[in-house]
Amino acid sequence: MNAGDSIPELRVTPDRYLPHRYAGASGDFNPIHIDREFATQVGLPGNILHGLYGMALVARAATAAGGGDPRSLRRLAVQFRGMGVPEQEIAVTGTVAEADGERAVLETVAEQGGKQIIRNAVAELGPLRHN
């Protein structure tokens, strides 16, 4: 991994019921994520993805870029922008900002339908282990 390299893209299309499974797994049952009717009543296009689910996809993409060992992710800072929706592909892309063989800093974004849903995501990896 060298500074300036692109990291392998992660592409995921969350299915219709992903927000329900993520709600159960995370414990966040806010109705804007699992109840279409409620979500549209408060002005949303439909039930929306959990922002922290998107952050988990960024974490996966960063970890995969570093060789796949979840222990290599040391820090991840993100900004949430816009909102993600189920049944539409999300792409996590990024570049290596710094790398010295032992550790690396990645700058990534998550986009859906041409809009960034997570931006300024900075991941620090190290020590890099392959697993």
Partner 1 sequence: MAIDAGAKGKRYPAFSYEVGSEKIREYARAIGEESPLCDDREAARAAGLRDVMAPPMFAVVYSAGAMAPAILDPEVGINFALMVHGGQEFVWGEPVCAGDTIETVAECKDIYEKDGKGFYVFESVSTNQDGQEVVRGTWTNIVRGV
Q: Which stretch binds partner 1 (CB under 8 A): 1-9, 26-34, 91-99, 104-112?
A: 26-34
Is residue 111 exposed (0-12), middle (13-18) or buried (19+ Cβ within 10 Å)?
A: middle
CB of 70 or CB of 101, closer to partner 1 = 70
Place of tokens 């990291």: 7
Q: How many residues bind partner 1 (CB under 8 A)?
A: 31
Instruction: Indicate which single residue of 28, 35, 107, 111 sits in contact with partner 1 (rule: CB under 8 A).
Output: 28
- Locate 13 and state its tokens: 């299309």
43 touches partner 1 (CB under 8 A): no
For residue 71, what is the enclosing H or E element? Answer: none
Instruction: Indicate which single residue of 56, 91, 97, 128 sits in contact with partner 1 (rule: CB under 8 A).
Output: 56
CB 89 within 8 A of CB 24: no
